[in-house]
Amino acid sequence: MTLTGRNLTFADAAGTTLHETAAVARAVRTEGGDAPAGRSTGYAMAVGDTFNGTLSAGDRDWVRVELQPGSYVITLDSRGAAGVYDPYLRVMDDDGVQVAQNDDGDGLNSRLVLNVAQPGTYYLEAGSYAGLYSGAYSLNLAATGPTHHFTMAEIALQLTDGYWEATGRSRRAFDVGQGDVLNVDLSGLTQEGRQLAGMALSAWAQVTGIVFNRNPGTNATIHITFDDSDWGAWSSSMTSGDRIVSSHVNIGLDWLISYGTGYNSYSYQTYIHEIGHALGLGHAGNYNGSAVLGVNNHYLNDSWQASVMSYFDQAENVWVDASFAYIASPMTADILAIQRLYGPTAIRTGNNTYGETTNAGPSYATIAALLRNADTRDDIAFTIFDQGGVDMLDLGTDTRGQRISLVAGTSSNAYGLVGNISIMPGTLIENAQAGRGNDLVIGNWADNILRGGAGNDTLRGAAGNDTLNGQGGADRLVGGVGDDVYVTDGRDQIVEAAGQGIDTVRSTVTLQLGANLENLVLISNAAQDGGGNALANRLTGNAHANRLEGFSGNDTLLGGQGNDTLYGGNGWDVLGGGAGADLLIGGNGNDILRGWTGNDTLRGGAGNDTLNGQGGADRLEGGAGDDVYVTDGRDQIVEAAGQGIDTVRSTVTLRLGANLENLVLISNAAQDGSGNGLANRLTGNAHANRLEGFFGNDTLLGRQGNDLLFGGQGDDWLEGGAGADLLVGGQGDDTMLGGAGADHFVFQGGRDVVGDFQDDLDTLRIDDALWGGGPRSVAQVLQLAHVAGGNTVFDFGNGNVLTLNGFANIAALQDDLIIV
């Protein structure tokens, strides 16, 4: 085909010319009184009508029309023998502003094509050149051209089949696929031509997987030959059936002189176009030689934005929302079409970056170099094609406001242009870096990382677990559905709807979580504070001193390093101080407080709290409620009277302090525990323990191990558990259960009960102080026993009674009783 000028006039080797048929008028309308020259005109016409009128010198007639989106041919002709000489046609919009004009479009008559993008009211003005002439005229309005948009798939079908069929030919392609070789001969080109042709071949290789061999051997079959010996630019192919045998591409030296030799030039775009023909693609419309938008296009969105094979640039097509830019890669419809001819590819499946930095191959590297240059970045448009990995679009140095869309099949606006960067359908780009202007960045369904750069940006995450970082400026961050992460410097507006995932804010400044945000992480290199909201929040400090406050909800507060202050607030909260000397205050609710390392202060507040100092010499203040203290023995436990039934869990030997009721030994070794003046519950571990109740009605539970249990004063309950245990009830009316193992029960007075005495396994030890210390034999002691209700009862007088529940064989005790 031949390109003969900037307006993209093409002709292919076959020289086929297509013609359009004019529309037929629907009605003829005639001027009565003179039509006024303004919006007050009472005359109107419809599409397909003819309006006949008369002009006097200096006269202008306005006729109102209502137009829908589409293309219209408007003619103003001299009518009859008394027709006006040299009629002049103008078109005004609804505000009376001129939008089109023509003089001498058809001889001395006027003719123009009006392309309408939006429905509205227009005015057709009939006049004469400079208002000099009078006479009759005929004004005609006819619809022409397309009325609908093509999908990218439909445009691709036009490239592979439609164009060839319209010119009496059929689909064609080389008999190769991904990984196969086509030999090309660039020897007929200048150095500049070879560079442009080589890079254009690389661009097609990036979407086909075909290997273009630029250094074939002497006797190799040449598939595509390039030269510059003819004027203009064209491509021709020799075919056999539906197979291309060879192709010839000519782009003349005149072309390079006229349109430049840079990769941001019309010459480079021409090489991409002509190689498309050489590989089997037709034009984007059924035109050839020349084309007029609204007349020769058969769908509305025929432009470079969709296909490098189009005749119409982005700016001249009113139905395309894109700025003029030279094409630096095969575009969306081109890629769909070429892969119909040569099959799908499996290239660029790794982690790739596109835009100002790239690792995606030479043609994208060329694009990157152009985008990094302030003088060339606004010259080009391109399409990203990728098939796997975690990828990124980097437009970080642009200083103008961008609209970046990572949605496949959409276009982005960058470098002051509209619609200049497209992403192929089926291509997934996960991450984006915006520039230094006020940008809009739109994510897709994947887990996106969106960075705004400088400027006041809007970042929209859509579906997926996204990370939104406004970076500089006062940004608007909208995560959408998914577990999103927001990174903020405090100047940003974070927008999160209810029920859209568990979201995290990472802040460099003091911040309280806004609505529908769950988690906060402080990330500055200085002290800062953080607050939650009514949800169940997770607040995490940094390496410095932080104040974290959960407020309502069941929150988790983690201080990190530094001397932190943590307030749980309402709800059942979990507080972790981390390193440093921290202050943890649970507030209301049943809270869990852990100091971690450092000498911490833990205050439970209201509720049944658990306080664990962990490392350090900590101060544990439970407050009201049934609290649990976990200690390594270095801690100070502070509990006021009447503040609930509290439990100490200790890893070391420990005696309960004031106002503490229960003790549980939790180490992995033998340790001891003792009570105080309250009714204590003392629980051993899996090893040998010594438990001593002292005062109060105590419960002692030995668990596993060979334990020593001393009830002391009060009415105590002693359980040995597993192991060979020694149970001493002491004073008071005690109950003793040995559990498994050979246990010893010591009776010293009171009214005691042994609940599980086992003959020939357990031993009774009777204190001789019960009868004043004089000598008595076992037989004499057994005479003090009798059986009552299936139990053996020893009555030593003075209210001292020992009962063996469930044991009725007094004689069997002969070898189980010891007097001490």
Instruction: Tell me the DSSP string of 16-65.
Output: ------PPPP-EEEE--SPPPSSTT---B--TTEEEEEEE-TT--EEEEE
Q: Is residue 211 part of a domain?
A: yes
Residues 92 and 182 in one domain: no
Residues 86 and 191 in one domain: no
What tokens appear for 694 in the block? 């002292």
**CB proximity list for 813: less than 8 A, separation 6 or greater:** 759, 764, 782, 785, 792
Q: Which of 202, 182, 153 is nearest to 348 (CA)?
A: 202
Strands 699-701 and 681-683: parallel
Three-state DSSP string of 471-531: CCCCCEEECCCCCCEEEECCCCEEECCCCCCCCEEEECCCEECCCCCCEEEECCCCCEEEE
Q: Are 72 and 141 in contact (CB under 8 A)?
A: yes
pLDDT for the residue 26: 57
Residues 103 and 136 in one domain: yes
CA-based angle 296:299:300, to the nearest 5?
100
- Residue 557 to residue 586: CA distance in whole angstroms: 10
Residues 173 and 296 in one domain: yes
Query: Backbone phi, then psi, for 438, in 5-degree steps?
Result: -90, 100
pLDDT for the residue 328: 98
Half-sphere CA count of 524, side-chain side, radius 13 A = 16
Q: How many domains does the chain have?
A: 3
Strands annotated E in 189-343: 211-213, 224-227, 233-240, 243-251, 326-327
Residue 92 is part of a domain; what is its CATH number?
2.60.120.380
Coil/strand/helix, residue 364:
helix
Q: Are 573 and 552 in contact (CB under 8 A)?
A: no
The per-residue pLDDT for range 275-331, each reduced to its tens digit, is 999 999 999 999 987 888 888 899 999 999 999 999 999 999 988 999 999 999 999
Q: How far is CA 599 from CA 563, 618, 636, in A?
A: 10, 5, 11
Q: Are 813 and 794 in contact (CB under 8 A)?
A: no
Q: Are 711 and 734 in contact (CB under 8 A)?
A: yes
When the pLDDT of each residue in the chain is averaged and rounded to a whole number, the result is: 94
Which pTM value belongs to this model?
A: 0.83
Beta bridge partners of 246: 238
Strands 791-795 and 801-804: antiparallel
Residues 759 and 804 in one domain: yes
Residues 82 and 137 in one domain: yes
What tokens appear for 267 in the block? 């010459």
Task: Give 305: exposed, middle or buried? Use CB within 10 Å, 0-12, 13-18, 19+.
Answer: buried
The per-residue pLDDT for range 500-535, each reduced to its tens digit, is 999 999 999 999 999 999 999 999 999 999 999 999
- pLDDT category, 8, cuts 50, 70, 90? very low
Q: Is residue 59 part of a domain?
A: yes
- Residue 244 to residue 631: CA distance in whole angstroms: 85
Q: Residues of the chain with pLDDT > 90: what percent?
A: 91
- Residue 635 to residue 649: CA distance in whole angstroms: 12
Q: Is residue 190 part of a domain?
A: yes
Q: Which of 326, 338, 335, 372 is nearest to 353 (CA)?
A: 372
Taking each helix axis from N to C end, the angle separating 332-342 and 266-279, rounded to the nearest 10 degrees, works out to 30
**CB proximity list for 67: less than 8 A, separation 6 or greater:** 47, 114, 116, 119, 120, 121, 122
Q: Which domain holds residue 112?
A: 27-144
Catalytic residues: 274
What tokens appear for 114 in the block? 């009006």
The per-residue pLDDT for range 379-395, each reduced to its tens digit, is 999 999 999 999 999 99
What tokens appear for 6 in the block? 């900037």
Assign residue 574 a region: left if phi > 0, alpha if psi is -120 to 50, beta otherwise? beta
Selected residue with higher pLDDT from 291 and 720? 720
Q: Is residue 752 part of a domain?
A: yes
What tokens appear for 645 in the block? 């039934």
Residues 109 and 163 in one domain: no
Q: Are 787 and 770 in contact (CB under 8 A)?
A: no
Coil/strand/helix, residue 730:
coil
- pLDDT category, 105, cuts 50, 70, 90? confident
Residues 237 and 104 in one domain: no
Q: Are 123 and 39 in contact (CB under 8 A)?
A: yes
Residues 186 and 284 in one domain: yes
Q: Is residue 722 part of a domain?
A: no
**Which of these three, 299, 324, 349, is where a domain ends?**
324
- Give mean pLDDT, residues 223-251: 97
**Which of these three, 113, 144, 175, is where a domain ends?**
144
pLDDT for the residue 147: 76
For residue 403, the Cα-to-chain-centroid distance in whole angstroms is 17
Q: Is residue 617 part of a domain?
A: no
The per-residue pLDDT for range 609-665, each reduced to its tens digit, is 999 999 899 999 999 999 999 999 999 999 999 999 999 999 999 999 999 999 999
- pLDDT category, 146, cuts 50, 70, 90? confident
What tokens appear for 487 in the block? 């990174």
Q: Is residue 109 part of a domain?
A: yes
Residues 180 and 98 in one domain: no
Residues 206 and 61 in one domain: no
Coil/strand/helix, residue 644:
coil
Q: What share of the chain is helix, strand, coil (3-state, %, to 5)?
A: 10, 35, 55
Beta bridge partners of 791: 788
Q: Residues of the chain with pLDDT > 70: what percent?
A: 97
Q: Is residue 22 part of a domain?
A: no
Residues 171 and 224 in one domain: yes
- Residue 493 to residue 470: CA distance in whole angstroms: 10
First to last CA, the chain: 121
Residue 185 is part of a domain; what is its CATH number?
3.40.390.10
Residue appearing with tokens 């943590």: 566
Instruction: Report which DSSP code applies to 158.
Output: I
**Confidence check: pLDDT of 5 > 50:** no
Half-sphere CA count of 812, side-chain side, radius 13 A = 13
CA-based diameter of the chain, in Å? 160
**Which of these three, 144, 162, 193, is where a domain ends?**
144
pLDDT for the residue 292: 86
